[in-house]
Structure 1
Amino acid sequence: MLYTAYELAYAAVAPARIAAGMGARFWRSPYNPAAESWFGRSAAAALDVFENVMRRYPKPEWGLDSTVVNGVEVPLVIREAVKEDFCTLLHFERDADALAKAKGKDAEPDPKVLIVAPLSGHYATLLRGTVEAMLPGHDVYITDWADARHVPLSAGRFDLNDYIDYLIGFIRKIGPGTHAMAVCQPGPALLAAAAVMAEDNDPLRPASITLMGSPIDTRRSPTVPNQLSQERPLHWFEQNMIYTVPAPYAGAMRRVYPGFVQLYSFLSMNSDRHVNAHYDYFQHLVDGDGDSAEKHRNFYDEYLSVLDMTEEFYIQTIREVFQEHSLPEGKFMHHGRRVKPEAITDIGLMTVEGENDDISGIGQTQAAHDLCTSIPDALKLDYIQPNVGHYGVFNGSRWRSEIQPRVADFMRMAAKEAAKREDLKAAAE
């Protein structure tokens, strides 16, 4: 009923939202003699804030059509490499001729990197800055998870096991020598996928995995979200967080953790900060500070755009990752088979944490090294970035200048080690 009530409320305020948008344009019109007065600017700003707070935010565009390699602008096209019901594998395909001009025709191919975006409320475009920094030196792919309310019931269920299957399939599709990088929530799933592929001696297993701000073991330095997940029994989440998608969505009757419920959780964690941000936005509009107002709009266009997750994926993640700690306990099962991180012997492992991360505390990602006991030290790297929080681990100036270069160096090192092993294997045969 809550989902239906939310849709009805959104429809009910639509006339006021439309009127507010028209009113803001009226007060800003160059034909309005009061447009540049304090009253005119204040009225336009107030109506603009109201319209933005009340509107629904669609899935953002990537806004990436080129990258710069060695000073040369290289056009790129975003293509669908694989399309599944619950996820599309996107490929940021750089123009081959421009890339050859920038790097030289005899240059070695750039490493292939799969960026595993979190399925935790926001769209993959939240990692726009992550992708942008990787593009000059890497052949980049990313998981673009679907909004569950748009996936019909005929597509079946989607849980954490299916998530892992998708990652294995994507890594195989990209091909040998792939490097995989999980940002936040998908860390346990990527580690599990690598372990399954390693145990099977899959020839297409990744050359390296990089886990960034990931909840591998949330018992270490537990944060407020970790504690909330522990304090409440699983049935509380089932009763209070799961709702049925109403018509006319394609996913009608599917049970989901709705995006608007997630958004309320996001906003309530730092409510004062968001209220102050919108007040500052109002002041920027009144003062005519267009740059600051644009930054606010760009941030909230992304932050307030959310998607629904399937009930089974959300509940299984809460149980396995945040309550039972199945992976660090050695009890995590994938389709009835125990996942063995200790089976990984030749896949590079890098972990990245933010010193001030209030989502995944210090040590939670590092725990992966304790689980992967068979990886030689030469193929392991742990890095803690000073003075950044969760978002700064994968976006912003510190990511671009300090974290990303280390990730790139690690991937190239792991690729060289993998090549050496292949050469030795070929020589032995």
Structure 2
Amino acid sequence: MQNIQFFDSSKMNGKLLESIKEESSDIGYYSLTDQNVDSIIDFASNVKQKNIVVVGIGGSSLGTAAVYDFLRYSHGFEKILYFCESTDPVLLNSTFNKLDLNDTLFIIISKSGSTIETVSIFKYILSLVPLNKEQFVILSDKGSSLHKLASDKELSYFEIPSNVGGRFSVLSCVGLVPLAILGVDIKLLLAGAKNIKESFFNKNIAYKNIINKASFYASNVAKYNINCLFSYSEAFRSFNDWYIQLWGESLGKKQLHSYLNVGLTPIGLIGPTDQHSFLQLIVEGKRDKSVTFIKIKDFDSNLKIPKITIPYLEELDFINGVAFSHLINKQADSIIESLSNSKDIPLDIIEIDKIDEHAIGSLFFYYELLTSVVAKMLDVNAYDQPGVEEGKKILRGFFN
């Protein structure tokens, strides 16, 4: 067995909080809850185009997609959001065949300003639409190549804070600009995040919850090195994707003070669909997985199962009149109880009050803080990605 190093959780709570406070002065995502967003809201209110295309990859799009998917089922946005986050020609053709290019705003997002995938798609767009200040917005680091382009061509520009990494950037202009254009209440989104931040730093419920959960993950990383996020609503599908990047890219590292490689493998599941597939592996497979369930208390839906009797299926009439929101939560409860009976499958439950900006903002910041704390306990740098950077260098070499 490898001797994996992590902070002694019995002695580290006070030291950990001080360590987190110390890094919060350098790591930018902590301060995003207190930013002034009036300029973003003003800009968004003047966007006339119906189609909004986000051109960005990884952290430049996943968080925005997560908020959009969480809210779009209930908010009924008038504008349509598209994501160009892959160089797959099949997806590009499919996306651009749907667009009225004269009624489209393109948001080009690259922190470095030189992401190959993003620039490649940008070049393709420019073969269809001339660069103009009515249809193009640039989001990038100050001083980047894209920033220089925006200045030269007088394009609208928003600065990505230099100390905010891509996977932690959803509450920066990266997420706030496209979401505000759609009509998302971005102040409420930030208020939800701030609620978790204050609860953590004031050592209230969020602090106790995050510390306890992180301590378990760190202490059991050798045995339970896979975390399954079992989200009970289609509204969380893109959130799962964001969580996979956040968890994998932040925690899969070589330790700072040893030669060992550590990490927690993230898996995103959607209930009740995956009850009929991946659940079997959790129930009877190798005991190397912890499971986190996310539920929604109030779906704000009156949709019910009709009181219809189907010949030969009369035995299922007990579901007649049951609200679908009640059914999906009982499906979750049945799996939770079933796994609890196993005794050796670690479980925890996150309950979201309702589907709104405050709730998803809270969830984002909760997971960002949890990631930071787990990283401290595992003795890894949560904010770099050397494994990813190596691949980028190799890709550039193929074309030089």
TM exceeding 0.5: no
TM-score, with normalisation over the residues of structure 1? 0.28
Q: Which has the higher contact order (CA 8 A, sep 6+)?
A: 2
TM-score, with normalisation over the residues of structure 2? 0.29
